[in-house]
Amino acid sequence: MSTTMPIYVAVVDDDESLCRSLGRLLRASGMQPIAYDSAEAFLADTKRPRFDCLILDVQLGGMSGIELARRLVAEGAQTPFIFITAHDDLETRAAAQETGCAAYFRKNDPGADVLDAIRRVVP
């Protein structure tokens, strides 16, 4: 029997269908996803586990994923994060990359690419 700890991945996205499909993909890959529909919900969860990776939607209803990443970095968080967006443009991509993100994907990019990125950043 393996004693490997599960990989906890937060999915912060207000697109319910994307959260469901990404959650299924992550679970099928042996990971433990926990979905949040906003940056505020993620920050308010005082009982959240220590995440190994965060998947953040760039555009959320309140605080954006980029703002959330900036806040976490400013607080000294070391958890790697990956951005995912339906609204890709050069300015958004540059702002995301300035935060130190581990990867940046469009929502229609292959799920296998997202899994590969997670596996690269989680020891």
Q: Which residues contact 50 (CB under 8 A, 6 or more apart)?
A: 8, 79
| pTM for this prediction | 0.92
- What percent of the chain shows pLDDT beyond 70? 97
Average pLDDT over residues 44-66: 94
Q: How does residue 87 score in pLDDT terms, banded at 50, 70 and 90?
A: confident
- Please provide the average confidence, as pLDDT, over all residues in the chain: 92
Starting at the earlier edge strand, list the strands of the sheet with 53-57.
Answer: 31-36, 7-12, 53-57, 81-85, 103-106
Average pLDDT over residues 43-71: 94
Write down all domains in the chain, each with its CATH number in brackets.
7-121 (3.40.50.2300)
Q: What is the reported pLDDT for 91?
A: 92
pLDDT for the residue 1: 42
How far CA 33 is from CA of 16, 28, 92, in Å, comes to 14, 10, 25
